[in-house]
Structure formats: C-alpha cells, structure tokens
Amino acid sequence: MNDFSTVIIGGGISGLTCAKYLNEKGYSFMLLEGSDELGGRVRTDKVEGFKLDRGFQVLLTNYPEARKTLNYSDLRLKYFESGSLIKADKGFMKMENPFRKKMAYLTMAFSSVGSFSDKLKIRKFANDLAEIPDEDFFKMQATDTLTFLKNYGWSDKMITNFFKPFFGGVFLENELITSSSFFQFTFKQFFRGDAAIPLEGMQAIPDQIAEKISSTKIRRNARVKGIENNQVFLEGGEILTTDRIVLATDPHTTDMFLGETAKRIYNTTTCTYFSAESSPLKGQKMIALNPNRRGVVHNVCVPSDISPEYGNAGKSLISVSTQGLDKVDEQKLTSRIKRELFDWFGAQVNVWKHLKTYHIPESLVQYRAETPKQSLKLSDNLYRCGDYLAYPSLNAAMQTGREVGEMIAEM
C-alpha cells in the first residue's frame, strides 16, 4: 500500500502551488521541504529588527497566476508608485506611468529621459500590448530585447536611460539579451498592474499558500537523497512509497534526481542592505535606477518607504542591487557602494550601517529568444515544476506548479 498518492519534493513557490491545487481536489499527498522554512528563493529574514527579503523582489499584481493563487487583501500589500527615478548628473529624472496619473504624461514629455517621440511610442506600445492575451506572448516569434527595442524605433537615449537600467534590473543582465517575448509580457504586467510588497515581507506569499494546506501534509527538514521508481528515499533511512513524484526543487537538485547534467546559464545578483536614520529617496516610493551599468550600484530601493514594517524603530531600510558579480568580498563591495552613493546622496551615506549581503549566483536561468518551455510530465508517475522550465518569474513558478497539479488531478 502506498503512503501517499503523490509526493512533492520541494517547498518553494512551484511546489506549494502544486500542493494547493491537489489539496483543493482532495488528493492524498505529502510535500517534503529540506530546509526549516518554506518559500525557496522567496524568503524574508529578520536582522536587527529589519525585514530583509533574500534579494530585491516585488510582486506584480497583474500576474495572471498570482491573481488565481493569492489573496491580495490578506497579504496587506503595500504599493510602489508607478514609475522610476533615473540617476542624472545632478539629482534624478522621474519617469512616471502616464496611465496612472493625469499629469504624468506632461511630466514625461518634458523630462530628459528620452525624446517626445519616445514617450508617444511608450503609450502606443502599452496600448498594443494590452490587447494581447498573456498566454500568447510566448507563442510569438522573438528576438533579443535590445534588438526589439531598436527595431521598434526607440532612441538610444531612451534605451540607455530607461530600458537598460529598468529591465536590466528585472532580467538581472545588462545587455538585454533576454527574449523579447518575455520583455513584452513583463512590460504589460508593469503597466496594467502594480508593483507591491506584502506588509510583512515577501515570505508572506509562500506562507499564505501554505496556510491553505493542512500542516499534516507538509514536512520541513525532510531531506531527500534520491528517488527510484515509486519510492522516495530520505536522509536517515526513511522510504516513502507513492503513485506519483513531483520534483519541485532547484534545477541542480532535480537534475541530480534524474541523473541528468543539463547546461544552463544563470544571471547573477547581489543585494546589499543598509540601515539609515532617514530615507535617501525622501519617501518617494520608486526604485532609483543607474544608467551607468559599469558601476556596482545598479538600483536603489528603500523598502521601508513602501512598507514601514520593513524598517525598525523609525529607521529606514535601504536595498542596493548589483548584477553580474562572480564572487563577493562583502567589505570591499560595501565600501564601493558607499563611495558611489556618496555622489548620489552626500555625506549621509557615511553613517549607513551595513546589515547583510545576499549574493545569489544562480538567481535566474537566462531566458533567450526561442527558448522552448520544457516538459513538465516526464512519465506517468514523474513530474517536475519550476520557473526554470518556462520563463524566470514568480508567475511561471506558480503556473508550472498549477499545471502539474491539474495534470495529476485529471488522471
């Protein structure tokens, strides 16, 4: 007799979403998570009273899978202003979403981010994308994003000042080699919805999904060392027998279980957190972007301006993101960041306190044009899910988890 009809290995977003769908259908399953907490890459740590997400992350509220899976009201979302601050020689240029504020289009027209023609193209482009169903973007013929932008007719100034720093930060790569289909999908999400963080940090997202599942169906600190046929072998000698196995782990671990050695290229990010007496962005709820991608500061955000719960005792939490570092010497990186940001914000930077650095060398699998979605069903009793099998995003993690759950439920 089998212990469970399904064993899900991995308690990140895709594994939890799969478990949620099986739970709603009344299926017998067990989710095994090797660490002490759920969420995978979507985790929040508490350091000296501050809430630190493991790498700068946001929730795009227009994500179709997030709308299906999450209860936004219960997450108590806190919203960014729609737009961005772009570092200039002196101060910042502000680029606002012309669909959200009546005066924003006028502001954009006279800003120096790009030309007036560029702003007209932004409006037309957003209107065109609004008519495309989300699922159709990944069926379209694609090129790299930079080629797409140039072919569309945006100026080099607009590409340098806005598209490269903004979407380079989203894709975690500076040359915009990411597929134009993913760019168009993501652009639509930003313009049609909001960027937000939960009141208590990004960890609230996996926690909310897990709350919909009986605690008896989730085991933490359950490290799996291998699988064979319908058996799951845990460290310590325990063996679980099941009808189906779902691999919802990171790509390397799934490859190990399958005996494969798939070659993947990853985009890398490093997130450095500081505490400060006050916000250097003076309460503006936007991300500050650096068009100079040769620096170590690629973007700056003050999460406590968006959700005060991220801060501590009235102090501000500052997040600085850097892309592409192979290795990190925290002390040297911290010093370089402060030297660069002295030019942005002045002497206040000298008294910022370093809290923690997260170096994530395999943050996102690089997603190039014509990258195919990989198979989720490997055999009648073996499945896998995760955003690396589709496109790199929280939405794809949820989507692949849901699709595997539905495949199993329909059997």
pLDDT at residue 69 in the model: 97
Task: Decide if pLDDT at 109 tops 90.
Answer: no
Q: What angle, 0 to 180 degrees and rounded to 10, lies between the N-to-C axes of helices 116-130 and 180-192?
A: 90
- Under a CB-based contact definition with an 8 Å cutoff, are residues 59 and 394 in contact? yes
- Under a CB-based contact definition with an 8 Å cutoff, are residues 210 and 13 in contact? no
Task: Decide if pLDDT at 108 tops 80.
Answer: no
For residue 26, what are the CA distances in angstroms to 4, 7, 14, 382?
Answer: 12, 14, 19, 20
DSSP element (H, E) containing 162: none
The CA distance from 218 to 240, in Å, is 14
Average pLDDT over residues 110-126: 81
pLDDT at residue 120 in the model: 84
pLDDT at residue 213 in the model: 95
pLDDT at residue 372 in the model: 87
> Going by CATH, does the domain composed of 4-43+203-263+378-409 fall within 3.90.79.10?
no
DSSP code of residue 36: S
For residue 339, what are the CA distances in angstroms to 61, 343, 348, 349, 385?
Answer: 35, 7, 11, 8, 42
pLDDT at residue 119 in the model: 81
Task: Decide if pLDDT at 151 tops 60.
Answer: yes
Average pLDDT over residues 27-53: 96
- Under a CB-based contact definition with an 8 Å cutoff, are residues 281 and 288 in contact? yes
Task: Decide if pLDDT at 104 tops 60.
Answer: no
Confidence of residue 114 (pLDDT cuts 50, 70, 90): confident
Least confident of 95-99, 108-112, 121-125: 108-112
Output the six-digit token pair for 7. 């064993």
> Going by CATH, does the domain composed of 44-79+196-202+266-365 fall within 3.40.140.10?
no
Domain ranges across the chain: 4-43+203-263+378-409, 44-79+196-202+266-365, 95-193
Task: Decide if pLDDT at 323 tops 60.
Answer: yes
Q: Please state whether the predicted TM-score (pTM) of the whole model is above 0.75.
A: yes
3-state SS string over 232-288?
EEECCCCEEEEEEEEECCCHHHHHHHHCCCCCCCEEEEEEEEEEECCCCCCCCCCEE
